[in-house]
Amino acid sequence: MTEAFLCTHRRTAIGRFGGTLSRLRPDDLAAHVIDAVMAQHPGLPVDEVIFGCANQAGEDNRNVARMACLISGLGEAVPATTVNRLCGSGLDAVIIAARMIRDGAAEVVLAGGVESMSRAPFVMPKAETAFSRTAEVYDTTIGWRFVHKGIAARYGIESMPETAENLAAERGISREDQDRYALQSQGRYDGDWHAADIIPITPPGKGAEAVARDEHPRATSLEKLASLAAPFRAGGSVTAGNASGVNDGAACVLIASARAVRDHGLIPLARIGHGASAGVAPRIMGIGPVAAVARITARTGLSTKDFDVIELNEAFAAQVLACTRAWGLPDDTAHVNAKGGAIAMGHPLGMSGARIAATAARRLAETGGKHALATACIGVGQGIALTLHAV
């Protein structure tokens, strides 16, 4: 069984909802980062493309990975598949790619994720009866649609912000703590550091300029954050300021076997270790990373204190604090999201997991650490995690 290594990675900037990248289709975003990675390795044979995407409707066209391959320079000969584990989709793509390489099924796999939440369409179910005079329309950007009555009765269908409110209430996480963490995320965001991973992309339209910087980060203060309404629950604490954004973007990483690294002169950032997913109650989906990481620590003997680098998705500040406190880490732990997280950067659902895996690998290489952890909570009650190790 061969080892799998995370090598080259590239991404688009993360665009704000309705922002500059909203003029680009998701298949175009994905093709752009595929071509950007391949530009670093002309002629490199690719066995498979695996991309995560949470929204399979509209321009995502059921299998956006394949569509992106056809648009990109890879063409028709490279097979491609799209995986959907909602917020964990991009990280799942990396895990699946590594498994393919370890099993000997591939030598080089492009893994990544894409989401255009701005362009997510409205969908309408077909009529139950002929000549129906009623119609329902669902927004596919985020959240529930076409709800099954049994799931609603058994688990509830609380929105993502409501699940964060549940965690905050159950874990005693105050509004002030959430706002303080949100300010920390914004303050830690390092635009120059992240710019090194971003491939400029020019949206269509006359006079359009290339987008090469993340659009979502913004200046704020504790006073500004405290002034925001908490609209999701009476007396609640979750606001637009201490939650991640609704965003657009794509990311791609090159995963290679030891033989491919040697034969093609690739430079790995990290060796890919264990991946795991776990299920939790949908109403507190944000605690998912704790369950997923517990599976990894049980298999490897590593504890959360053994990781020199941790990249944890920031769906909500309440979710981050629930996880880090469960791991016995201080709220301001320096090695968790050291360059900012999704509260600052935004959270294009299918992209985020691939982005945090690449960020963790790069940080591990730069800091000279031994072990890194990339992990995310997932809507409807799951968690996912991946370990990375120094080369």
Q: Find the distance separating the first CA and the last CA of the chain, reported in whole Å.
A: 17
Catalytic, 371? Answer: no
Question: DSSP 3-state assignment of 261?
Answer: helix
Question: DSSP 3-state assignment of 256?
Answer: strand
**Catalytic hit among 9, 194, 216, 347:** 347
Running DSSP on this structure, what letter comes out for residue 28?
A: H
Give the phi and the psi of residue 169 in degrees, each rounded to 5.
-70, -45
The torsion of the CA quartet 296, 297, 300, 301, rounded to 10 degrees, works out to 180
Paired with 277 in beta bridges are 384
**Pairing mode, if any, of strands 309-312 and 371-378?**
parallel
Distance between CA atoms of 233 and 100, rounded to whole angstroms? 44
**Catalytic hit among 87, 194, 252, 371:** 87
Catalytic, 69? Answer: no
**Catalytic hit among 194, 323, 377, 389:** 377
Catalytic, 53? Answer: no
Distance between CA atoms of 15 and 27, rounded to whole angstroms? 15
Distance between CA atoms of 226 and 179, rounded to whole angstroms? 7
Is residue 120 within 8 Å of residue 17, measured between CB atoms? no
Q: Which residues have a catalytic role annotated?
A: 87, 347, 377
